[in-house]
């Protein structure tokens, strides 16, 4: 995957770059919004990681300019701010996801990979399949190995998100944001508890586990 990091803090940029390269991605760096704009126009990137506060041209203006030019490359906005309305502002400017500094690298990586997948042509899928696990989005049913599994509505949404991002790491914060729409971190590990409930329904009665815990990062659903 080819990723452009637009970040004026060189140390932060090299930290992200190094991490992305280690995960097998190609990462370029631009030091400010103007440079970032030029580089984004010149080459075809899969994801842009854009810092909000930068000299010369700030991240939001850069993203707005790109969107004005019909460039739909997914953008992850990084920000040291972090109130809800800052997030709303960032998404309104054309960002696809919003990550508040400081963050763990695993969180950034998971979000970048999730964004890249979003780029795939948006086909209307009515069925999600991971191994022998199948989800029918219209009938709202889940079947594994021919056996129907009864899920609560929230469990259904949680599994739906995991299946849409199968093979990828999703973090606890991502789940809390995308499945529950909460933008704060509860002290207790509420997500772990819900995952373990889901796991007991979709994995426990079967010989092979699909829902894996990724240490220090989150979870991954994989056949």
Partner 1 sequence: MTQRRAAFLRTTAFRQTLLSAALFALSSFVILGFVYAASAGMVVRRADAVVNDEVQVLNDRFQSGGIDNIRLYILQRTVGGGDYLYLLIHPSGRTLGNLSFLPDVQPDEEGRVQFTYRRPPAGGVDDDNEKEDRIVRGQIVELPSGYRLFVGLDVDDETRLISRMLNTILAASALALALGVAAGIFVSRRFVRRLDKINNVARRVRAGDLQPRAPRNYTGDELDELSENFNNMLDRVEALMHRMRHTGDSIAHDLRTPLTRMRNRLDEALREDGDLDAREQALERAVADTDELLGIFNAILSLSRLEAGESRASIVRLDPAEIAADMAELYEPVCEDDGLSFASEIQPGLAMLGDRGLLSQALANILDNAVKYTPAGGAVTLRLRETGEGMIEFSVTDTGPGIPDVDRERVVQRFVRLDNSRSQPGSGLGLSLVQAIADVHNGRFELNEGPGVVADGHGPGLRASLCFPKAPREAG
**Nearer CB in complex with partner 1: 104/139:** 104
From the list 157, 29, 66, 174, the residue with the least C-alpha distance to 113 is: 174
38 vs 26: CA distance, rounded Å: 18
For residue 93, give the 3-state DSSP assignment: coil
* Least distance to partner 1, CB of residue 125, Å: 26
H or E element that contains 160: helix 153-164
Nearer to partner 1, 103 or 206 (CB): 103
**Smallest distance, Å, CB 199 to partner 1?**
12
The answer to the question of residue 178 lying near partner 1 (CB under 8 A) is no
Binding mask 182-211 for partner 1 (x = CB under 8 A): xxxxxxxxx--xx-xx--------------
Does position 92 interact with partner 1 (CB under 8 A)? The reply is no
Q: Which two tokens stand for residue 122?
A: 């948006």
22 lies in the binding site for partner 1 (CB under 8 A): no
Indicate the angle between helix axes 59-68 and 33-42, nearest 10 degrees.
30
180 contributes a contact to partner 1 by CB under 8 A: yes
Which region, judged by CB under 8 A, interacts with partner 1, from 1-9, 77-85, 91-99, 114-122? 77-85
What secondary structure letter does DSSP report for 212?
E
74: phi then psi, degrees, rounded to nearest 5: -60, 140
Q: Which helix (H) or strand (E) holds 192?
A: helix 190-202
User: Which positions touch partner 1 (CB under 8 A)?
Assistant: 82-85, 88, 102, 104, 152, 154, 180, 182-190, 193-194, 196-197, 216
């Amino acid at each position: 995957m080819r990723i452009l990091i637009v970040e004026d803090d060189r140390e932060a940029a090299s930290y992200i770059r190094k991490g992305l390269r280690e995960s097998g991605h190609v990462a370029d760096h631009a030091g400010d919004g103007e440079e970032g704009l030029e580089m984004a126009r010149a080459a075809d990137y899969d994801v842009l990681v854009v810092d909000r506060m930068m000299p010369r041209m700030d991240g939001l203006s850069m993203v707005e300019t790109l969107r004005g030019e019909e460039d739909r490359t997914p953008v992850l906005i990084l920000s040291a701010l972090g109130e809800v309305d800052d997030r709303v502002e960032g998404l309104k400017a054309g960002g696809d996801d919003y990550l508040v500094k400081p963050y763990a690298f695993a969180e950034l990586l998971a979000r970048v990979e999730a964004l890249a997948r979003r780029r795939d042509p948006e086909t209307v899928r009515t069925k999600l399949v991971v191994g022998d696990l199948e989800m029918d989005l219209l009938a709202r049913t889940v079947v594994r190995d021919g056996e129907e599994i009864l899920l609560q509505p929230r469990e259904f949404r949680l599994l739906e998100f995991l299946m849409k991002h199968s093979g990828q790491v999703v973090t606890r914060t991502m789940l809390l944001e995308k499945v529950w729409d909460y933008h704060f971190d509860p002290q207790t590990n509420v997500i772990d508890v819900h995952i373990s409930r889901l796991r007991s329904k979709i994995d426990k009665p079967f010989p092979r586990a699909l829902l894996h815990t990724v240490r220090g990062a989150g979870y991954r659903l994989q056949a």
